[in-house]
Amino acid sequence: MIDLYTWTTPNGRKVSILLEELGVPYAAHAIDITKDEQFAPDFLKIAPNNRIPAIVDHDTGIQMMETGAIMMYLADKYGQFQCDGDEYWRMVEWLMWQMGGLGPMLGQTHHFVKYNKGKSAYAEERYSAEALRLYGVLDRRLEGRDYIAGIGRGMYSIADMACWPWVSRFEWQEVDLNAFPNVKDWYLRIAARPAVQAGYSVPKFTTDVPMP
């Protein structure tokens, strides 16, 4: 049994989508970051960096923070959604790309373009341009592919699950997915999966999955 401590953010949804795809028992516990619940002492014992999500695996006694580490741990534990051979490292490469680039930069776009529009034209221009650059990188990667990593047209893996929730906020980023047709096709392909739709509404329903 796994306890998932999470909220309705792209980072939180990465892990809830993976857990739904795995079909394993888990209990979701809401950590409302709008009420600073991530600073509660009990949560800090699990996630010292005061960021969601975090897990406690009661099968192994392992507790873990950081989405990349959590996703690699779960994929390895259950032997699913990870590529084989050399493609394993391609999957890890794109997982790290999400963690080091796509997530942080789109997060800054949300901060300046959605929540603080008009406060800094420089920041809005900088992060909007970087968002478009990153979408372009992903669009080129997906040329002739169904998924980010894996041989041939690729296989659905934790690399896709890590990137997809950030792209699901394309409206917040003021990005037109029609300008990135490979990303759009990939996004819709994943959005149609029942486990993705279920994981999107953990720990609570906010909106339907956005559709371009």
Q: Are residues 101 and 189 both part of a single domain?
A: yes
Q: Are residues 98 and 25 in the same domain?
A: no
> For residue range 51-68, what is the model confidence (pLDDT) as tens digits?
999 999 999 999 999 999
pLDDT per residue over 25-34, tens digit each? Answer: 999 999 999 9
Given phi > 0 = left and psi -120 to 50 = alpha, else beta, which region is 61? left
For the entire predicted model, the pTM comes to: 0.97
Q: Do 100 and 74 reside in the same domain of the chain?
A: no
To the nearest 10°, the Cα dihedral for 132, 138, 144, 147?
A: -140
Between helix 86-97 and helix 158-167 the angle, nearest 10°, is: 20
Asked if the structure places residue 110 within a domain, the reply is: yes
Pair (64, 111) in one structural domain: no
77: number of CA atoms within 13 Å, CB side? 17
Query: How many domains would you assign to the chain?
Result: 2
Which one, of 11, 3, 1, 17, lies nearest residue 202 by Cα? Answer: 17
Residues 161 and 180 in one domain: yes
* Same-domain status, 71 and 168: no
**Which candidate, 83, 63, 81, places its Cα nearest to that of 149?**
83
70 plus 92 within the same structural domain: no
pLDDT tens track for 155-184 = 999 999 999 999 999 999 999 999 999 999
